[in-house]
Amino acid sequence: MSGMKLRNWVAWMPGCETVGAWRQWAHTGAPIVAGAGLLAAPPPIKEIPPLLRRRAAAMGRAALHVLSRPELPYAGQPIVLCSRHGEFQRSFDLQAELAREGRVSPQQFGMSVHNATGGLFMMAQKARAPLTALAAGEEGALAGLQEACAELADGADAVWLLYCEEPLPGEYRQLLGDAAVRGDCHFAFLLELVSGSEFRLAPEAGGGEGRPALPLDLLRFLLRVEDARLCLSPRGNWTLRRTAIAGA
């Protein structure tokens, strides 16, 4: 059993870029992909030096944007970056380039590892904190929380848990069902978690059924104080339960 408190959060999705817009999204029951236009321009990331930010693609730019908000300054916490597919368009283009030309761009290849986006942020910050990059299929929301709890249990005062995704290349989109299940819309959100008793992550008997909760399901739950529990994974009944009102 692990207890935690959500101390702060920042989120970005095309058409949903302010706290007010996100609260409305959470409370109106809008579809999980609301506003997540596939071709929307990525957010500006002027806070990251040009020589670093040039290497970020769509997902990376969304991620760096939420990591660099002045209202939530970085203070050296461990970072857990959680993305099911990562910057998959880049990997797809690399494969096409390899097939076409027999060689690939070293820069693109270097950025095609899962922790590269977090690495850009750490380099910009000149930080040496632990950075974990996770890809946990449909159970990414759960895996990210478990990793964040592990960091807190290991003694971190706070942990930054980042979820981010970009749309899959068209060739792959049809293989993974509808967008809500694929979780491939364009978004990034950052949770600053500390130890506490606001939420409890634990297996609960009869936890749930259906599909695992996606990262945006998790954000919606966190923003809806009237919701008592979220089944993160029917397998193992992992559940996030709201045990106290924020700020209480």
Partner 1 sequence: MLDELIREIKAFIIETLDLEDISPDDIDADALLFGDGLGLDSIDSLELGVGLQKRYGLKISAEDEEARRIFSSVRTLATYVAAHQTV
Minimum distance from residue 27 beta carbon to partner 1 (Å): 38
For strands 158-165 and 79-82, give the pairing.
parallel
Work out which of 37, 44, 76, 110 binds partner 1, going by CB under 8 A: 110
Binding of partner 1 by 107 (CB under 8 A): yes
Cβ(112)–Cβ(93) below 8 Å: no
State the Cα–Cα distance between residues 192 and 180, nearest whole angstrom: 25
Size of interface with partner 1, in residues (CB under 8 A): 10
Calpha distance 186→173 (Å, rounded): 13
Residue 103 contacts partner 1 per CB under 8 A = yes
Rank residues 92 and 109 by Cβ distance to partner 1 and give the closer one.
Answer: 109
Write down the least CB distance from residue 216 to partner 1, Å.
29
* Residue 235 sits in the site that holds partner 1 (CB under 8 A): no
Q: Is the Cβ of residue 26 or residue 116 nearer to partner 1 in the bound state?
A: 116
Compose the 50-79 pattern: x for residues touching partner 1 by CB under 8 A, - for all others.
xx-xxx------------------------
CA–CA dist 193, 78 (Å, integer): 11
118/208 with CB nearer partner 1: 118
Kindly tell me which of 52 and 194 has the beta carbon lying closer to partner 1.
52
Q: Which stretch binds partner 1 (CB under 8 A): 7-15, 29-37, 103-111, 161-169?
A: 103-111
Distance of alpha carbon 18 from alpha carbon 66, whole angstroms:
11
Beta-carbon count within 10 A of 116 CB: 19
Provide the 10 A C-beta neighbour count for residue 85.
23
Strand segments, DSSP code E, in 110-152 are: 131-134
Q: Which residues pair with 227 in a beta bridge?
A: none
Q: Which residues bind partner 1 (CB under 8 A)?
A: 50-51, 53-55, 103, 105-107, 110
